[in-house]
Chain A
Amino acid sequence: MTHNIYLYILVAAFVSCLIRVLPLTLIRGKIKNPFIRSFLYYVPYVTLAVMTFPAIVTAPRIPLAGILALIAGIAAAWKGMNMIGIAVLCCAVVFICETAAAYIL
């Protein structure tokens, strides 16, 4: 069965809007439940980590370039580089690796 792209977009938009708007409109006090607080605290980091690896290795044409981009990105973030700088750095690493590989191989 094929799905409609507009419907996909609307479902995604509806859910993400609900997520963003509901707490702001409904919850006026602080969340007390420590498990839910902790769960919500960890969620973004787990999601981002799971999405990043191993996808960053399989996305470029040469997997080694992706591995090097990941290492460079972590090192730069460790040193405090900003988000856009890191994104550009990762792209540059992949570009340089693949260009170099084309000459060497």
Chain B
Amino acid sequence: MNRNKNAFFNGIRDGFPIALGYFAVAFSLGIVAKKAGLNPFQGFLSSMLNHASAGEYAEFTVIIANAPYLEMAFVILVTNIRYMLMSCALSQKFDSGTSLFHRLLVGFGITDEIFGISIGRPGALNPYYNYGAMAIALPGWSLGTALGIVAGNILPASLVSALSVALYGMFVAIITPVSKNNKIVGGVVIISFFASFLVSRISLFAQMSDSMKISLLTVLIAGLAAFFFPVKEEADET
């Protein structure tokens, strides 16, 4: 029991800087949420349940587009599919005897950063470490979103305009280091930029919602990349 308590407090300690960062970025996500017509409570709820920067951004574009619920399911599946890979990796990190309850709860709490710190722990993963990190990081993320929705009104237009790129800055921070070290990923990223730009310009696709464009381009480009440049075993866990 004492070990679990220790792990929980270690999780809180490591989750604290994550929570601070989340708060700032979620604030800019709240600005998008407001555009989609969410009130602060809805933003809080969405961030508490979904807690994914890219996934929630996509979620709000679906709401803005007033697209069908099925499209929402598809868009979330595609934008959050990386969590599936993280979930696979974490399953290797558990003791085989870990109960279903712990597997469900740890799975629910997977984010890029929580995955990052938990995969870096030595030895088998203690679920209470994740609970500690979740207990501080997820409320930080959710409160940030809610406050972004509230303060979107108060802030001057110049600040809102500046904050609107924070999320993209975060995305750039995720893709650039990997592109730097892996030429194929770098090429795939450049092709994705180019394809996305083309699709945004071609009138043929004008009827299609942004979220649908994102999903289709992802399945197409990642599928082609996987076909032509299969990943070797070790290169998988980044």
Contact call A73/B173, Cβ cutoff below 8 A: yes
Interface string of A75-89 (1 = CB under 8 A from B): 001101111101111
CA distance A91 to B84 in the complex (A): 31
Is A105 an interface residue when CB atoms closer than 8 A count as contact?
no
CA distance in complex: A19, B83 (Å): 7
Complex CA distance for A104 and B151, rounded to whole angstroms = 29
CA distance A10 to B58 in the complex (A): 14
Bound complex: CA A73 to CA B94 (Å) = 36
| Chain B proximity mask over A16-45: 1 for CB below 8 Å, otherwise 0 | 110111111101101100111111111111
What residues on B are CB-neighbors of A24 within 8 Å? 87-88, 90-91, 94, 103-104, 106-107
Q: Is the CB of A39 within 8 A of B168?
A: no
**0/1 interface trace, chain B 72-115, chain A, CB 8 Å (1 if under):** 11001111111111111011101010001001101111100000
Contact B107 A25 (CB under 8 A): yes
Q: CB distance B78 to A54 under 8 Å?
A: no
A83 to B192, CA, bound (A): 21
How far, in whole Å, are A13 and B80 apart by their CA atoms in the complex?
Answer: 11
Asked if B175 CB lies within 8 Å of chain A CBs, one says yes
Q: In the complex, which residue of chain B has the Cβ closest to the Cβ of A40?
A: B85
A46 contact from B73, B174, B221, Cβ within 8 A: B221
> Are B59's CB and A12's CB within 8 A?
yes
B108 & A74 in contact (Cβ 8 Å cutoff): no
On whether the beta carbons of B226 and A94 are closer than 8 Å, the reply is no
A55 in the interface (beta carbon within 8 A)? yes
Most central of A3, A9, A20, A59 by chain B CB within 10 Å: A20
Indicate with 1 or 0, residue by residue over B113-147, a CB within 8 angstroms of chain A CB atoms.
00000000000000000000000000000000000
Would you give 10 A-B contacts (Cβ < 8 Å), ordered by A? A9-B50, A19-B84, A24-B103, A34-B230, A39-B222, A50-B217, A51-B79, A56-B168, A70-B172, A93-B165
